[in-house]
Structure 1
Amino acid sequence: MALFGLGKKQKKGEEVQGKESPSAVKVLGSGCASCNQLEANTKQALAELSMDGSIEHVTDFVKIAGYGVMTTPALVVDEVVVSSGKVLSKDEVVVLLKKARGLA
C-alpha cells in the first residue's frame, strides 16, 4: 500500500516528496583539518571533471553514524560511502567520482 507515499519504493534519482534533494557529494567529518583538506581536494576534483562543485559538509555525528561511518573524514557520492578514514588526494577523488558516475 502506498498511502501518502509510504511503502512506495523510491527509484534511483527520484526525489522524496517534502524533502530537499540531497547533495550528490558529501564530506563527513567534524570540521577538523583532515576533513577540510578532503573537502578542498574534492572541490578541485569536481572542477577538473567539470562537475557541479557543490559539496555538503556533514558535521552531525548522528547523521555520520547513519552512513555507517566510524572513522572520518569520509566521502559520500550519490548517498554511497566511497571512502572513510583517509584524506584522499585530488587524483584519488577523481578516480572515485568517475567510478561512482560510471565514467571510468
Structure 2
Amino acid sequence: MDISSDGTSDVKAKQKEEAFIKVLGAGCTKCNELENNVREALKELNINDEIEHITDFVQIASYGVMSTPALVLDKKVVCYGKVISKKEVIEILKREYEWL
C-alpha cells in the first residue's frame, strides 16, 4: 500500500475523492438547517467534500424521495423527511465511510 505525503494511504485518498454529498430540498428552513448540520459535521471530521444542494423536484424525485429534506451520500439516500443533528450526520458518515 502506497502512503501519500500527508500520511494517508492511496486507497483512503481515492475513497475520499469519490465521496459525494447532496442535500435534497427546496431551500426551505429545514433543508438549509440540514445542509448546515452536514457542513458542521464535515468540518468536525476534517473532510473537505463539497455539498450539492439540489432544489429541482424532478431531480429529487429521481432519488425516490417524496419528503424533504434528504441526505444523499454517494447516490444512496441515507436520511429523508427530517432534519438530523450534526451528531447524527457524523454517525452516518462514520457508518457509510469506513475510512473515517
TM-score class, shorter-chain normalisation, is: 0.7 to 0.9
- Structure 1 unmatched runs, 5+: 1-12, 14-21
1:62 CA displacement: 0.4
Structure 1 residue 44 corresponds to structure 2 residue 10: no
Query: 1:3 maps to which residue?
Result: none
Question: How does 1:1-104 map onto structure 2 within 5 Å?
Answer: 24-103=20-99
The separation in 1 between residues aligned to 2:32 and 2:22, in whole angstroms, is: 12
Gaps (5+ residues) in structure 2? 1-13
CA contact (8 A) 1:43 1:53 kept: no
CA distances 1:46-101 after superposition (whole Å, capped 9, x unpaired): 00111124100000000000000010000001110000001000000000111111
Match of 2:98, SS state, is coil
Work out the number of aligned pairs and report it: 84
Equivalent pair of 1:47/1:53 in contact (CA under 8 Å): no
The share of aligned pairs that are identical, in percent, is: 54
Letter in 2 for 1:29: G
**Which has the larger helix fraction?**
2
| Superposition CA RMSD, Å | 1.8
